Amino acid sequence: MTTTIERRFAAQQVSLDRLNVAQRSAFSEIAASGYGLLFIRSTSGGKVAICSSGQSFATIDEAGQLNTCPDIDLRR
């Protein structure tokens, strides 16, 4: 199943303060590899952080679980 996510606010600065402790911990691990936080999406399962590094994407769920091969499409 592919989740389609629209990128409407590409220039918007996303605050790490919106991440919970588990998400911040997971983000700090991948940030060291060059990933940045694109946006945070509220879903029925909670907040999901969407991160990118070049053409690679990763998601971090509310439990801090990192998915470096997410099944998502970004609309531009």
pLDDT, tens digit, for every residue of 15-70? Answer: 888 899 999 999 999 999 999 999 999 989 899 999 999 989 999 999 999 999 99
In the structure, what pLDDT confidence band is assigned to residue 10 with cuts at 50, 70 and 90? very low
Phi, psi of 14 (to 5 degrees): -95, 130
Residue extents of the structural domains in the chain: 3-75
The greatest distance separating any two alpha carbons of the chain, rounded to the nearest whole angstrom, comes to: 30
pTM over 0.85: no
Pairing of strands 3-6, 72-75: parallel
Cα(25)–Cα(22) distance, integer angstroms: 5
